[in-house]
Structure 1
Amino acid sequence: MAHHCDHHHHYRQQQHINICIDHQWQSASIASHRALKKQYQNRLVRASKNPSNNSIMNNRSATWLQYSSLWPTIRHYPHHYHQHGHQYCFWFGLMMILLVVLMADSGSSSVWEQKGCHIVGHTQRIDIPGCINFELTSNACRGYCLSYAIPSNQETLLVNDQQMITSVGNCCAMTETEVMSVRVMCRNGPKDIKFKSASKCGCFHCKKY
């Protein structure tokens, strides 16, 4: 493996040492780092046997300390990468599954289960005394409307000091209707009976019946 080498020149009396440091630690293999570690150890042993090279020894020791401080990170990097890589893949896959389930659920849900007040078809059985029972399909309103409760204001408390909370309820109901005329067979002959069918729905204050 070719490395970019930085040459450090010392005095002629001193031994000339070439220090090669690979800056691509994370992409190198573990075997290459172990060989590099062994090479540094051998050079330190040879340099320590020559007392005249104290300055070189100090420089080499400093370089070795820098390498030693990086070695734990390099040694554990592949395991760290694979461990967290599997975790990222797991959570990404889980999020994709949840997204698909939510999309399928929203697509298969009924219209009235969606937000807002909507027109839906409704079939009911009509039972009129003295007439034949029959089924009628018409438009109805169904859905969800906003309701909330807030602390009563000063004006409300002056009228009723026991009413600490004011509730506002909105119901989904027909705002516009159309008339459906149905001919029904009865004992006294056929009758034309009119029914209301929703043409428009909306939310407004709930009424008590």
Structure 2
Amino acid sequence: MTLVDLLDYGSVLIFALTGALVASRAQLDLVGFAFIASLTALGGGTTRDVLLDRNPIFWIANPTYLAVAAGAALTVFFTAHLLESRYRALIWLDSFALAIAVAAGAGVAIALDQSAVIVILMGMITGCMGGLMRDVVVGQVPLVLQQGELYVTAAFAGAATAALARFFSLDTTLALLGCAAICWTLRAGSLAFGWHLPVYKSTPPKT
């Protein structure tokens, strides 16, 4: 099993847990849990593989990913009530999933010998699309678009780290670990310390 495979498994598992937590907050049934968890876990990687014309798509080639997502949904269905704050657990789990998925997406693009731009975009898409689909389907403002938080920026910085490391011919393992570390540090800093980019504020036109 390659490092990219391990990263894909990790991102599927953790993103599935976040999807199931969202399903618990929406008070869905077990089928709803499995659907939202699978959509969240597999959405980013599926979009990546379709865009890269990677055939077969990773979870079709290896349905074990579906089993991982379903198992996570089942676990959360019976244990979510034990959490003091499901939203807090959600956003922190999502931060780990983001970092791992961005590294997985960048790793797939690197393995296919794609350009730096594509490495960055595939990392961002893999990290962001699953959570975006999850939040849109349940009618929430996506975490990706939360005002004043680093999310897409963190994904970009992580994927750019991998692309830069590849440019300097560093070991792929180090490149992907650095990618995940930078991405998670920025996202965690945003959650814990309020790090953010300047937010546009409109001013009334002059008369």
TM-score (normalised: structure 1): 0.26
Greater helix fraction, Structure 1 or Structure 2: 2
TM-score (normalised: structure 2): 0.27
- Higher RCO, 1 or 2 (CA under 8 Å, sep at least 6)? 2
Greater strand fraction, Structure 1 or Structure 2: 1
